[in-house]
Structure 1
Amino acid sequence: MTISALQLGVGCLYGIFLWFAPDARKAPEVTLDDIIKMLPVAFCYMGAHSASVFSFASGSVSFGQIVKASEPAFAAVLSQFVYGSKVSKAKWLCLPIVIGGVILASVNELDFAVSALVSACIANLFAAFKGNENKKLMSTEGLSDRLGSVGNQFALTTILGFLMSIPVIMIKEGNKFGEFIELFKSTPAIRNNLIASGLWFYGYNELATMTLKKTSAVTASVANTAKRVIVIVGVALVLGESLDPMKLLGCGIGISGVFLYSIIDSLVKKKDE
């Protein structure tokens, strides 16, 4: 929890820096009511990130990424039964492919850990809530104008998520925080990796959000699918994680299912036309 929270803290510093840097980014002009409305999104963002970090720490990173690829299944259930947003039959039919791929990838997972699986599922749940809450948030009249940009929205979400994570750190790991600070000061690897991972995480998510605004849904889906493949294979090669045939097959099926889920409505619509 400490690591994930401080990664958000690094992102906060970067976002605030952009508001004060000359010719970088104009600060948002949001109201207190806007901030209050952003809290659910920020909380879900914090929860998704923390659970993801815990998942990657509990098992192999590639396995965590495979499970996280099943996020559409969680989003579909929440959208349909909690938020009342109808999910098409075509999308429902894609979900068994995604879930089946995850199961296949888990069968011979050498680094399998129940905690990694559960944490990744919790991350998916938080991410699904975040997506639905964000839709509600952006329907607020005039909010987009007051935020000024997608970058400002993400910066505020990160700042609020970081602030909400502080009490959790104090409750769960407060007694070890002093020890962590000493390690941070004395161990360059911890210090450098924490700062770098925080900046990379912030930069990636902000860029992904901006890209989604400027591209079609299909293009974004292709890019997201490619990202999963690159991360899973790249991490396995760099960290020496297992990539046996069954895991690769499950990975391929699961990610293909996610891609199909993302574009199926467009394909069905074109066929009907």
Structure 2
Amino acid sequence: DVSLLLYFVFWYVGNAIYNMYNTMALKAVGGKHGGLTMTVSTLQLGICSIYAGMLWLSKPEKMLLPKTTKEDLVATLPVGFCAAAAHSAGVFCLGADPLFGQIVKAGEPVMSAFVNTFFYGKPPSLAKVFCLFFIVAGVGFASLKKGLDGAYKLKFDERALIFGMIGNSFAAFKGSENKKLMTKPGLKDRMGGVANQFALTELIGFFISVPVMVATEWKKFPEFFRLLGSSKELQVGLVLSGMSFYLYNELATMTIKKTGAVTASVANTAKRVIVLIFMSAVTGKALSDEQKIGATIAIAFVMLYSVIDDLVK
């Protein structure tokens, strides 16, 4: 299936491009100590919203305006909030350490299992619990560094770990809330398809992020606008990271629709490996032996986690 192959290729390429230009935009505003990470994250969602608006206005035959009611929009707020929080936390995580951040983000099933067990009463199977121990162990081993005395010590970017875990938690909430949302009678028809659903989620996420951005970083706005007017890296990085974020997520949705959730989960795991290698090349920062081994263990068991229930039937 050529179309399916192209979905995979552009999904992977889009994600790699997003990571590259996200890193470029964050570096242009001073990196994790620049105090403008939330601004970059919010404006990426703003670009997503502008793109969605252009699709609604210029191509009505391809993307009809949703016919959602006020009640539908209120019901969509939790998904939009979780999407915004997951995105912003992910930007903070990857801005702190693009490589270790990818390893932490690969551990998303751990937080997903926790959230679904304690908040939605849907615990994972014993087989999946078995995999979770190895995912945690892999991320843990990737956090170790060998000292001059030969002893291993924990050494990692705390900001990347904390925001990575926060992002993983909100991604888990978003997935569960989205499933709940789609059970609302007639909502799918009123939404007008997954493209509209994703566009609405990003739009709501943007409007939720704006007050957070203003409250936390308003003092840095003059500096941001000065950089935006003078830094080509910020201009290009911001626009292309926002566009690629929207497009690769849409392609991921199309891939799931065409293949099923399990195949897409495995593909998403493989994507982590490719992006990890790609970002190592882009940043010029080599993975340590501990990170290579830890990432291999974590990502391998994330892949197994995705399919193990089907294997042990």
TM band (smaller chain)? over 0.9
2:116 to 51, 55, 79: 79
1:160 equivalent to 2:209? Answer no
- CA shift digits 1:109-156 (9 cap, x unpaired): 998211111111111111111111111111111111111111100000
2:285 to 221, 237, 241: 241
Q: Which amino acid aligns with 2:293?
A: L
Shift of 1:55: 1.1
Shift of 1:238: 1.7
1:221 equivalent to 2:259? Answer no
Q: Distance in 2 between matches of 1:108 and 1:234?
A: 22
Q: Distance in 1 between matches of 2:266 and 2:234?
A: 34
Q: Which amino acid aligns with 1:125?
A: S
Instruction: Find runs of 4+ consecutive structure 1 residues off by over 3 angstroms.
Output: none
1:68 to 89, 105, 111: 105
Cα RMSD for the two superposed structures: 1.4
Please say if residues 67 and 190 of structure 2, whose CA atoms lie closer than 8 Å, have aligned partners that are also in contact: yes
Please say if residues 144 and 155 of structure 2, whose CA atoms lie closer than 8 Å, have aligned partners that are also in contact: no
- CA shift digits 1:47-105 (9 cap, x unpaired): 1111111111112x111010011110111111112111232111111100101110111
| % identical equivalent positions | 50
- CA shift digits 1:187-228 (9 cap, x unpaired): 111011100000011111121122212212332122101100
Compared with structure 1, are the counterparts of its residues 86 and 114 closer, same or farther at alpha carbon in structure 2 (3 Å cutoff)?
closer
Ranges in structure 1 where 5+ consecutive residues have no aligned partner: none
1:30 equivalent to 2:68? Answer yes
1:102 equivalent to 2:139? Answer yes
1:18 equivalent to 2:62? Answer no
Equivalent residue for 2:172? 128
- CA shift digits 1:160-207 (9 cap, x unpaired): 000011111111011222321221122111011100000011111121
Alignment TM-score, normalising by the size of structure 1: 0.95
Ranges in structure 2 where 5+ consecutive residues have no aligned partner: 1-37, 147-153
Equivalent residue for 1:51? 89
3-state SS, counterpart of residue 143 of structure 2: helix
Q: Which amino acid aligns with 1:48?
A: A
Please say if residues 62 and 231 of structure 1, whose CA atoms lie closer than 8 Å, have aligned partners that are also in contact: no
Please say if residues 151 and 210 of structure 1, whose CA atoms lie closer than 8 Å, have aligned partners that are also in contact: no
1:210 to 249, 254, 263: 254
